[in-house]
Amino acid sequence: MTRALELLYSLKALDDVGRLTIPLGMHLAEFPVDPMLAKILLASKDYGCSHEIVTIAAMMSVQNIFTQPAKVPKDVLSEARRKFWVEEGDTLTWINVYNAFINKGNKSGKWCHDRFLNFKALSRAMSIRLQLMKYLKRFDIPLVSATSKYPNTAEGRQRASEDVRKCIATGYFANAAIAEPDGSGRFRTIRDNVVLHIHPNSVLFNRNPKCVVFHEVVETTQAYMMDLTVIEPEWLAHIAPHFYEYKQQKR
């Protein structure tokens, strides 16, 4: 309970006496998703990337987007997934998967089957996205794509990617982790210095980015981060100085 309240406070959803802030806390409470996802949806207005963020939020609300048939070799699965991969992380990869599904696969289970995608999960994500768009409209957040703000050049696409990733960090700054300098593939959370690993199904597995934020942690043989986004560590000081100052004061 304490951790949950601390998170809400760090998201500026609660004031110093534990009441919902107005309007942010009240708006966060209305979304049918967890507070971090709700925060990035609201923040997407400031970063001009609501089109991408509502897709990411919908995709992170479902599980098992990629299927893993037991009889299919791992290299075949990896090759099929690689067509969607984005080097900045799983969350931006979900945009590619969703857009391909909408354009080609939403009427065809076979299209998904041939690409080892979960038709039911993607159909559910499509439904969730439509629901979340209603909340964006309620809160006067226009549907804007980050790419529409920049020229269609390598630099423009990079700036659009940064806007999306900064927006994600605005909600997930408490889930930031830094790579160990020894190249072991281990990460430590900035928040609590907890050792974590990149999940083998992540597009970032074996790539060892310097800093990431994650949606959640699952524990099997190790503690694995899921739904990763590559960020720059220095963004955190600008996005959430209140949070890191608060943590330092507690130590």
Q: In the predicted model, what is the mean pLDDT of residues 56-60? A: 97
What pTM did the predictor assign?
A: 0.92
Question: What is the overall mean pLDDT for the chain?
Answer: 91
How far apart are the C-alpha atoms of 59 and 55, rounded to whole Å? 6
How far apart are the C-alpha atoms of 128 and 26, rounded to whole Å? 21
Residues 92-114: tens digit of each pLDDT = 999 999 999 999 877 778 999 99
What is the per-residue pLDDT for 109? 87
What is the per-residue pLDDT for 108? 77
Residues 168-212: tens digit of each pLDDT = 999 999 999 999 998 888 999 998 899 999 999 999 998 889 999
Q: Is the pLDDT of residue 1 over 70?
A: no
What is the per-residue pLDDT for 141? 97
Q: Is the pLDDT of residue 41 over 60?
A: yes
- 55: number of Cβ within 10 Å: 23
How far apart are the C-alpha atoms of 92 and 18, rounded to whole Å? 34
What is the per-residue pLDDT for 251? 43
Say which residue the tokens 């996802």 belong to.
37
How far apart are the C-alpha atoms of 185 and 107, rounded to whole Å? 40
Q: What are φ and ψ of residue 11, in 5° steps?
A: -80, 0
Q: What is the enclosing helix (H) or strand (E) of 19?
A: none
For the chain, which residues make up each domain, given as ranges? 31-250
How far apart are the C-alpha atoms of 14 and 188, rounded to whole Å? 27
What is the per-residue pLDDT for 221? 87
How far apart are the C-alpha atoms of 153 and 227, rounded to whole Å? 27
Higher confidence at residue 106 or residue 237?
237
Residues 109-158: tens digit of each pLDDT = 899 999 999 999 999 999 999 999 999 999 999 999 999 999 999 999 99
What is the per-residue pLDDT for 245? 59
Q: In the predicted model, what is the mean pLDDT of residues 37-64? A: 97
